[in-house]
Amino acid sequence: MGAPTRGSWTAAALTAALGLGQAWWALGGDHVATSALVLAPLSLLAAAALARVNCLETRLAVVLVVGAPLLLTALALTIGLPGQPRHDLDPAALVGMAVPLAVLAAIDADRRIRTHRARVAGARDDDPYAR
């Protein structure tokens, strides 16, 4: 378990925003989006877990939760989801791609900060687990 970093706080906030956006999209539209209905509570739960405990398992949960809408949006823009035509690139699709990518960038920034902290704390150069 590591100390929270600016990257982990940013990732938690962006994941919570993604979860709220998914809940709004799933419940506020004229049709029910099943994927957003399933992913919204998972995103909010992963964001709360990352904000509480910055560990490998919570970072993995966040990466998996933001990977799903990223993949679904990419599929919808390129070939279309099953049973649906291909979607056009619009501002909602851009936000649907930008927010998960920003979460992944924040997780990577957290990894870099934790690696730097470990090296400064005195990890040996010949330790295979320090890399």
Tell me how far apart the alpha carbons of residues 125 and 127 are, in angstroms, rounded to a whole number.
Answer: 6
Which residues are CB-contacts of 39 (< 8 A; sequence separation ≥ 6)? 19, 22, 65, 68, 69
Mean pLDDT value across residues 64-89: 90
For residue range 44-62, list pLDDT tens digits in order.
999 999 999 988 899 999 9
Q: What sign for the dihedral angle of Cα 63, 68, 71, 77?
A: negative
Which residues are CB-contacts of 63 (< 8 A; sequence separation ≥ 6)? 104, 107
pLDDT over 80 (residue 125):
no
Count the neighbouring beta carbons within 10 Å of the beta carbon of residue 58: 21
The pTM of the whole model exceeds 0.75 = yes
Mean pLDDT value across residues 84-92: 86
- Residue with the larger pLDDT of the pair 85 and 122: 85
Q: Residue 3: what pLDDT?
A: 75
Q: Residue 29: what pLDDT?
A: 65
**DSSP 8-state code for residue 84:** S
Q: Residue 114: what pLDDT?
A: 86
Amino acid letter at 111? R
| Average pLDDT across the chain, whole number | 87
